[in-house]
Amino acid sequence: MNILTVTPNPSLDRTYEIPGLRRGEVLRAGRERVDPGGKGVNVSRAVAAAGHRTAAVLPLGGAPGDLLAELLAAEGIEVAAVPVAGRTRSNIALVEADGTLTKINAPGPELSAAESESLLAAVREHSARADWIACGGSLPLGLSPQWYAGLVARAHAAGARVALDTSGASLVAALRERPDVVKPNAEELAQAVGRPLATIGDAVKAAEEVRESGAGAVLASLGVDGQLLVTASGIYFARASVDAVRSNVGAGDASLAGFLMAGGEGPEALAAAVAHGAAAVRLPGSVMPAPADLAPASVTVTQAVPLDRPLRSPAS
Q: How far does Cα 70 stand from its chain's mean position?
A: 21
Residues 6+ away with beta carbon under 8 Å from 299: 238, 239, 240, 271, 274, 275, 278
Phi, psi of 226 (to 5 degrees): 115, -160
Contact between residue 132 and residue 123 where contact means Cβ atoms under 8 Å apart: no
Q: How many Å apart are CA 71 and CA 288, to the nearest integer?
A: 13
Q: Active site includes 253?
A: yes
3-state SS, one letter per residue, for the chain:
CEEEEECCCCEEEEEEEECCCCCCCCCCCCEEEEEEECHHHHHHHHHHHCCCEEEEEEEECHHHHHHHHHHHHHCCCEEEEEECCCCCEEEEEEEECCCCEEEECCCCCCCCHHHHHHHHHHHHHHHCCCCEEEEECCCCCCCCCCHHHHHHHHHHHCCCEEEEECCHHHHHHHHCCCCCEECCEHHHHHHHHCCCEEEHHHHHHHHHHHHHCCCCCEEEECHHHCEEEECCCCEEEEEECCCCCCCCCCHHHHHHHHHHHCCCCHHHHHHHHHHHHHHHHCCCCCCCCCHHHCCHHHEEEECCCCCCCEEEEEEC
- The residue from 180, 253, 293, 308 that is catalytic is 253
Catalytic residues: 253
